[in-house]
């Protein structure tokens, strides 16, 4: 019995200071085939039944105790290891560091979209997204451009395989999608990329961007259109500039207009930028044609609306005095870093 007590004390002491490998050694030394405790259990036959019971039970208790102590120590060691690792890998968020890359900036086209959107958002417009791939109905038919209508000639595009789908030539198809999905009142702008079958030169590109605007409700008049667009021009270009609504034609608006602003380059005297006219065209607009409202099953007697389309590249080029549209698509960092 004394031996057992002694063994337990001895092992407890050893376990306290052991690492994982040493623990395995202790296990074999005391509990293995030739272990000290195993030896005691094997020699029980030497004793009387009474002694056997007592010693046997004590020895078994000691065995369980040692096994538990070894496991406990193992767990503690593992935990300590994890803690140590966490301590080592802890991030110091307050530490300043050198970041070897230049800070990026928005592309001027995106910048313009953001600025225009924020003006219209402040005027109560929601921002929506359209589809770049459309079909004939959305891009033309529903916008009052029936098949073989000459108005289509100005908007040739790229057709996808099978000719069923095409790349949209303007953001106006989103008008149809929105009106198909919701009842009036509608008040949205839709920025996006558009495509035309166009040879590229300093002012034309086969891919460019527009922002579509659409308001439909009861009692919407041309006065509302003028007010909103004049407000937009004032906020975007500065309110000192004159705004001109010049009669024009679009199939999906009636009446239609183009909006010109006084040339901010020459102040209206006439220069290269405004081609000596004193004004610069910035967008197309008009009152939504009743046929368009009918195409989306809106009651054209009850509702009226206005729409407009702004060319993003044109405005960006005016704002930053960029004289070649192609510069916007070349991803030349020497160019982009200026913004």
The residue ranges that bind ligand PHE (CB under 6 A) are: 170, 172, 250, 253, 284-286, 307-309
The residue among 200, 198, 151 whose CA lies nearest residue 172 is 151
Of the pair 11, 157, the CB lying nearest ligand PHE is at 157
Closer to ligand PHE by CB, 66 or 145: give it: 145
Name the nearest CA neighbour of 20 among 89, 56, 62, 71: 71
Task: Tell me which DSSP letter residue 265 carries.
Answer: T
**Calpha distance 300→303 (Å, rounded):** 5
- Please state the closest distance from residue 164 (CB atom) to ligand PHE, in A: 22
Pick 108 or 192: Cβ nearer ligand PHE: 192
Structure tokens at 226: 């003028």
Smallest distance, ligand PHE to C-beta of residue 256, A: 6
Residue 267 C-beta: closest distance to ligand PHE, Å: 28
Give the C-alpha separation, 249 to 168, whole Å: 20
* Smallest separation, CB 194 to ligand PHE (Å): 7
Taking the complex as a whole, the smallest distance from the CB of residue 205 to ligand PHE amounts, in Å, to: 14
How far is residue 60's CA from residue 18's CA, in Å, rounded to a whole number? Answer: 23
**Which of 30/250 has CB closer to ligand PHE?**
250
What single DSSP character describes residue 141?
Answer: G
Angle between helices 222-237 and 108-122 in degrees, nearest 10? 130
Calpha distance 275→272 (Å, rounded)? 5
**Closer CB to ligand PHE, 192 or 309, in the complex:** 309
Q: Give me the residue whose beta carbon is nearest to ligand PHE.
A: 309
């Amino acid at each position: 019995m004394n031996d057992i007590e002694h063994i337990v004390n001895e092992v407890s002491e050893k376990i306290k200071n052991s690492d994982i490998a040493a623990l395995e050694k202790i296990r074999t030394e005391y509990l293995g085939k030739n272990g000290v405790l195993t030896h005691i259990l094997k020699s029980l036959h030497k004793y009387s039944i009474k002694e056997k019971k007592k010693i046997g039970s004590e020895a078994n208790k000691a065995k369980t105790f040692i096994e538990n102590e070894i496991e406990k120590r193992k767990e503690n060691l593992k935990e300590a290891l994890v803690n140590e690792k966490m301590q080592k890998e802890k991030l110091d968020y307050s530490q300043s560091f050198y970041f070897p890359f230049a800070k990026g900036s928005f592309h001027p086209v995106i910048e313009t979209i953001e600025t225009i959107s924020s003006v219209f958002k402040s005027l109560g417009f929601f921002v929506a997204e359209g589809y770049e791939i459309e079909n004939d109905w959305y891009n033309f038919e529903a916008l009052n451009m029936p098949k073989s209508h000459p108005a289509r000639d100005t908007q040739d595009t790229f057709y996808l395989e099978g000719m069923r789908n095409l790349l949209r030539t303007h953001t106006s198809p989103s008008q149809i999608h929105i009106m198909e999905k919701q009842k009036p009142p509608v008040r949205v702008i839709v920025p996006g990329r558009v495509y035309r079958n166009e040879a590229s030169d300093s002012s034309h590109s086969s891919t460019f961007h527009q922002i579509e605007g659409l308001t439909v409700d009861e009692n919407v008049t041309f006065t509302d259109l003028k007010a909103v667009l004049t407000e937009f021009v004032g906020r975007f270009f500065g309110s000192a500039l004159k705004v001109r609504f010049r009669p024009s034609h679009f199939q999906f608006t009636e009446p239609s207009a183009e909006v010109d602003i006084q040339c901010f380059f020459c102040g209206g005297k006439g220069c290269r930028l405004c081609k000596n006219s004193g004004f610069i065209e910035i967008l197309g607009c008009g009152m939504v044609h009743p046929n368009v409202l009918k195409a989306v099953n809106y009651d054209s007697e009850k509702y009226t609306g206005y729409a407009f389309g702004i060319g993003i590249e044109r405005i960006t080029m005016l704002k930053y005095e960029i004289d070649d549209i192609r510069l916007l698509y070349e991803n030349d960092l020497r160019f982009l870093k200026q913004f």
